Amino acid sequence: MKGKRGLILGVANNRSIAWGIAKACHAQGAELAFTYQGDALERRVRPLAAEVGGHVVGHCDVTDPATMDAVFAETEKLFGKIDFVLHAIAFSDKDELTGRYVDTTEGNFTKSLLISCYSFTAIAQRAEKLMVDGGSLLTLTYYGAEKWMPHYNVMGVAKAALEASVRYLAADLGPKNIRVNAISAGPIKTLAASGIGDFRYILKWNEYNSPLRRTVTIDEVGDAGMYFMSDLSRGVTGEIHHVDAGYHVVGMKNPYAPDI
Ligand code: NAD
């Protein structure tokens, strides 16, 4: 990826999936710019960016369009054109990531869909202008978009909409050689995941029942992310690629799995 330059949105700390992808892109020679959400995360993101010789282009809260404009303006100043953008952003009120989906409030529904789904389109609008030689846009999704998962609730609905938007964005931007894909990652213990009810149970269930009999790491998702950001995937767009130890092909509980 020597000579490629990309913007990474969604690093919170060194357990973030975005960090796994950033490390893999850096290892192949890409030059990176990072955003952070708020002062508390800035303190975590700055040293991580320095570790990979990257740049920090500022605070970005996707509920505030002015901050998105500002980080893209800063990225343009820094890089001129860009080759890839990672969107690894999601949010729902923790109180609604437990219990029943039917109890979702209008306020949290709107906020979750804005942050977890629409923001990818908002980012794509801004990225398109800087991807003058084509490019790659990547987002992160989860199997809870396809099937019911306990506690995932409004986030499952947001991810389903996000996956549909990958296909629509791929069709819109394909003629400019801008590719749009998503990785559907298996469960990983991150800051965002800690808000999901019974997350330890979900991790164990995946470990016992996935074909590889384990969960995945941010480095494994990172390597797949690097493939999407690089020319290795130049013929691929509109794809939802599972990096989940094969869990999505399983139709039934492994009868030999221990009790959880
Ligand atoms: P994480 O907590 O490390 O990252 C989530 C990021 O979202 C944070 O950097 C946070 O700052 C950012 N964010 C939240 N609201 C924002 C806002 N309003 N504006 C800007 N940024 C905002 O957790 P993660 O698990 O690495 O999450 C990254 C992505 O991966 C998310 O889309 C998540 O849904 C997805 N994902 C996670 C898992 C998992 O099990 N961890 C599985 C599949 C998909």
Task: Classify residue 259: in a domain, yes or no.
Answer: no
Structural domain contains residue 240: yes
Q: How many domains does the chain have?
A: 1
- Residue 256 domain-assigned? no
CB 69 within 8 A of CB 126: yes
257: in domain: no
Query: Which pLDDT value is given to residue 195?
Result: 87
- Is residue 142 part of the annotated active site? The answer reads yes
Ligand 1 pocket: which of 92, 155, 190 to mutate (most atoms <8 Å of CB)? Answer: 190
Give pLDDT, residue 196.
87
In a domain, 81, yes or no: yes
Tell me, what's the pLDDT at 123?
A: 98
Note whether residue 260 is domain-resident.
no
CATH of the domain at 188: 3.40.50.720
Residue 10, in any domain of the structure: yes
Could you report the average pLDDT of every consecutive run of 10 residues in the chain (260 residues)?
98 98 98 98 98 98 98 98 98 95 98 98 98 98 97 97 99 99 98 91 97 98 99 98 98 93
Out of 7, 9, 17, 115, mutate this one to test ligand 1's pocket (max ligand atoms within 8 Å of CB): namely: 17
Beta bridge partners of 245: none
Give the helix ranges, DSSP H, for 2-64: 17-27, 38-51
> Is residue 227 in a domain?
yes
Report the pLDDT value the prediction gives residue 145, as an integer from 0 to 100: 98
Find the domain containing 107 and state its range. 5-249
CA distances from 22 to 100, 156, 202 (A): 35, 25, 26
